[in-house]
Structure 1
Amino acid sequence: MRVLGMLSGTSHDGIDLAVVEFSVAGQVLQARLGEHRTVPYSDELRADLVAALPPGRIGMAEVCALDVRTGQEFAAAAASVTEEFDLVCSHGQTVFHWVQDGAVRGTLQIGQPAWIAEATGVPVVSDLRTADVAAGGQGAPLVPLLDRMLLAPFVADGRPAAALNLGGIANVTVCVPGRPVRAWDTGPANALLDAAAGGLDRDGELAAAGTVDRGLLAELLREPFYALDPPKSTGKELFTAGYVQQFLTRDVSRPDLLATLTALTARTVGDALRGVDVVVASGGGLHNPTLVRALAQELGETELLTSDALGCPGDVKEAVAFALLGFAHVAGLPGNVPGCTGARGERVLGRLAPGRRGVPTVPGLPSWPARLEFVSPAG
C-alpha cells in the first residue's frame, strides 16, 4: 500500500508530504520512501493562520474560511505529487490544543479532507487526534507509533534510546528495555526562537553572537509546564508570540535573548533525556547549528544521531509518521500508544473521507510487526 502522509506543524510554514509504500515481511514492516518534500503555504494563508493563533481572536466565519483555504492548499499539494498513491493521511493544521487543569479537553485541526479527496480521487484519513482525547488521552504525541519501531534495534541491544523532534514544539519518545514506551512534549523548540527573531534566525547566527542571560534563563525555567509529569502536551496556545514580548522590553539585547531561548530549549530537552544512550533527532531545529551545539553539550556523552541515518529524512519524518497512521487506520490497528498519550487504551485513529477510488485493504495483519525498516527504492 502506498500512502501519502501530509501535515503542517506548529511552525505553520508549509505542508510536509511523503509517499511511503508499506509491505510486511514477517515481523518487519518495510517502508519504501518515495516522493517527499515541503510545499510552502501561500504568504496570505500563513499570515492569516498566525494571526488566528492565541492570543488572536477571530469569529466563526474566519474559522470556516481558514478551514476551507487550508484544505484547498493541502489538496493542491497532494495533486502536485507525481507518484501514484492509494490513500492519503492528512493531519491538517493544528490551530488550538485545549488544555485545562493539566488535562486535554479537545484539539482542533483544520484543513477539510474533502478537498483532498476531490482533487486526487483518493480516500483521505484525517482527524487523527480526537479518538485518543475521547479516551482520556492528550491526543499527542502520535509519532511514537513510528518511533518505537525505529528504535527497536537499539532497545534489542539493551540500549535505552530516544527519538527527538525539534519543530515549533519539542517532543521526545523514550524507549527503555523492559519498560513501557513513554513520550511527551518537553516545551518550545523553534516557537519562541522564531517569535523573538521574527523568523529571521533559522540558522542561529544571531543566537551564536549572544550570551546566555542566566537570570533570565532561571526565570524562564520556572514555567509550570516543565514541572508537570508526563504524559503532557502543549503548543502555541501557551508558547505564543506574546510569551517573549515581555522580555523584549527589558535591558537584554536580541542576540542575548535568542542565546537564552536556545539554552532554554537545550536544557528542557536535555532534562527529559537524562539516562538514554542514544538520541535520534529530526525536525526543522536541526537546521539551526547553534541549537544543535547547545543540545549536544546538554546531552554530554549521549550519542546524537539524525533520523536520516536510519533512512528517514528528518525534515519529513512526521509526514512519514502520518503515512503510517493512515496505514494503521485501514488495517484496523491502533495508532496511539497509551503510555505516551495517557489514553485508557489503544484506539484506531481517524475518520475516512471517501474518494472516487476504493479504500485499500490490509488482509491478515492482526497486530503490529515488531520493527520498521526503511528499504531502498530498488527494494
Structure 2
Amino acid sequence: MRVIGLMSGTSYDAIDAAAADLRLEGDTIVLTPLGLLSRPYPDHLRRELAGSLPPATTSLEQVCRLDTGIGQAFAAAAGQAVEQLCGGHADLIVSHGQTVFHWVDGDQVRGTLQLGQPAWIAEATGSTVVSDLRSRDVAAGGQGAPLVSIIDVLWLRGRPGTPVALNLGGIANITVIRDEPIAFDTGPANALADAVVQELTGGRASFDADGVMAGRGTIHPELFERLLVEPYYGRPAPKSTGKELFHLGYLAHAMDGLPEIAPDDLVATVTALTARTVADAVHAYGGTEVIAAGGGIRNPALMHRLAEELGDGVPLRSTDELGLPSVAKEAYAFAVLGFLTVNGLGGTVPSCTGARHASLLGSITPGVGPMPLQSPPAVAPVKLRLN
C-alpha cells in the first residue's frame, strides 16, 4: 500500500510529507521509504496560527478560518507528494493536522485539538484520508501522546540494553524500550528557544539557526535553577505537555526580578534546560542509548550539551544511522499509524500513553474510489523493518 504521512509539529514551521510503501509480512510491518518533501506554511497563515495559540485568546471564527487554511495547506503538500513521490497515486493519506491545543488537567488529558480539515486533502488528491488520530486514545483515558511510541517499540525492540527513542520538536518526548515500554513528553525541546528568538528578532528569525546563539551564550545559573523546579518534571509518566505550558510568558514569569539577561545567555539557558530534562528522564529509566530525531538534532549546541548531560556511557545517535531519515521520522510514523487503522489494527501501546486499552485510531474521510479497508490479519505485527 502506498501511503503518505503528513505532519506539522509544535514548532509549526512547515508541513512534512513522507511517502512509503507499506505491507505486512507475517508479524512484521515492512516500510520502504519513498521520499520526503517539506512545504513551509504560507507566511500569512503562520502569522495567524502563531497569533491564535495559547496564551493568546481567539474566536470561533478564527478557529474556522485556521481549520480551512491549514486543511488547504496540508492538501497542497499532499498533492505535491502524490505527484513527486508516488507517481500520481497514493492509496492512503494520513494527516496529523496541526495541534493548536492540548487540554491537560493535572495528570489527565481532557481533550486535544488538531486543525486541518481533511476534506480538503481528500478533495485535492482523491485519496482516502485518516485524520484526528489522537482523540480516540484520549477518550480511552490516555494522553494522546506520544503516538510515535508504537513505531519506536516495533522498530527498536530487540536492540541490546534499554534503547530510548527521542524526538526533539517544539516539545521533547521519549520512548523507553523495555519489557513494558513507557513514553512521555519530557518538557520543552525547541519551544522556549524558538519563542525567545522570535521575540528578540521581531519575528525575522523563528529559531536559533545552527545553535549559534546558544553556542555563544553562557548559562544563567539562577534562571536555570528556577526553570528546573517546574512541577511537570516531577510528575509520573505517562504524561504530556505542550506550548500551553512552555511559552514566552512562562519564561518571562521565571525571569521576574532578575537583572537583564543577554539574549545569547537566555537562549543558552533554555537550550541547557532541554538537555538536562531529557537526560534526567533517560537516566531515570536506565537508558543505555539514545536514538534521536526531530528538528532539534540540527542544533549542534543542543546536541553537544545533551551528549555531555547523558555522559559517555549513554551514546547519542540519530535515526539516520539506523536507516530512517530523522527529519521524516514523525511523518513516516503517522503513515504507519494510518496503515494500522485501515488494516483494523490498534495504533497505541497502553503502557506508553496511559490508556485503558489499545485503540483503532482516527477518523476516515473517503476519497473518490473504494476505501482501502482490510480485515485484520491473522497475526498482529510485533516488528517493523525498514526495507
TM category (shorter chain) comes to: over 0.9
Cα displacement string for residues 210-262 of structure 1 (whole angstroms, at most 9, x for unaligned residues): 11122211110111111110000011111112222343974211111111111
Within 5 Å, give how 1:140-289 maps onto structure 2: 140-154=145-159, 157=160, 159-176=161-178, 179-198=179-198, 199-246=206-253, 247=255, 250-274=259-283, 275-289=286-300
Contact 2:193 2:207 survives alignment (8 Å)? no
- SS for the counterpart of 1:204 is helix
- SS for the counterpart of 2:279 is helix
- SS for the counterpart of 2:196 is helix
- C-alpha displacement of 1:302: 0.6
Within 5 Å, give how 1:1-379 maps onto structure 2: 1-81=1-81, 82=83, 83=86, 84-154=89-159, 157=160, 159-176=161-178, 179-198=179-198, 199-246=206-253, 247=255, 250-274=259-283, 275-300=286-311, 301-363=313-375, 365-375=377-387
- SS for the counterpart of 1:139 is coil
Contact 2:5 2:17 survives alignment (8 Å)? yes
Contact 1:195 1:244 survives alignment (8 Å)? no
**Residues 367, 202 of structure 1: CA spacing in aligned structure 2 closer, same or farther, 3 A cutoff?**
farther
CA RMSD after TM alignment = 1.3
Cα distance in 1, alignment partners of residues 376 and 66 from structure 2: 40
TM-score (norm 2): 0.93
- SS for the counterpart of 1:368 is coil
Q: Find the counterpart in structure 1 of residue 203 from structure 2.
A: none
- SS for the counterpart of 2:368 is coil
- C-alpha displacement of 1:363: 4.9
Identity of aligned residues (%): 51
Cα distance in 2, alignment partners of residues 250 and 334 from structure 1: 52
- SS for the counterpart of 1:128 is coil
Contact 2:189 2:274 survives alignment (8 Å)? yes
Cα distance in 2, alignment partners of residues 187 and 32 from structure 1: 32
Q: Which runs of 5+ in 2 are unaligned?
A: 199-205
Contact 2:214 2:264 survives alignment (8 Å)? yes
Cα distance in 1, alignment partners of residues 118 and 248 from structure 2: 29
TM-score (norm 1): 0.95
Q: Which runs of 5+ in 1 are unaligned?
A: none
- SS for the counterpart of 2:150 is helix
Cα displacement string for residues 31-65 of structure 1 (whole angstroms, at most 9, x for unaligned residues): 00012121110001111101100111111011101
Contact 1:137 1:343 survives alignment (8 Å)? yes
Cα displacement string for residues 282-339 of structure 1 (whole angstroms, at most 9, x for unaligned residues): 0000110000000000111212111112221111100000000110110111111110
Cα distance in 2, alignment partners of residues 91 and 294 from structure 1: 31
- SS for the counterpart of 1:226 is helix
Deviates more, 1:366-375 or 1:353-362: 366-375
Deviates more, 1:113-122 or 1:272-281: 272-281
